[in-house]
Amino acid sequence: TLPVNARPSTKRTITCACSVVNTTLSSVNLDINSDGTLVLIGLGSSNENPPWVSLNGTFCSL
């Protein structure tokens, strides 16, 4: 959960690169909710399990 002063006023979605090991994906979406929660979107099945997701260079406006 993000600190109160670092939360966006409305939900923001950013695209993040992820490992292609153990998955057919090369990117996932990260929802940054106004309540401060972060949710990875795009990992629909238990077979989609990339070992890492990169947040390097990602940002969103508050």
- What secondary structure, in 3-state letters, does 12-43 show? EEEEEEECCCCCCCCEEEEEECCCCCEEEECC
Cα 34 to Cα 10, 13, 42, 53: the distances in Å are 5, 11, 20, 21
pTM of the model: 0.80
Q: Cα 19 to the chain's mean position, in Å?
A: 13
| Full pLDDT tens readout for the chain, 62 residues | 999 999 999 999 999 999 988 888 888 999 999 999 999 888 766 677 888 999 999 988 88
Residue 5 φ then ψ, to 5°: -80, 0
Residue 39 φ then ψ, to 5°: -130, 125
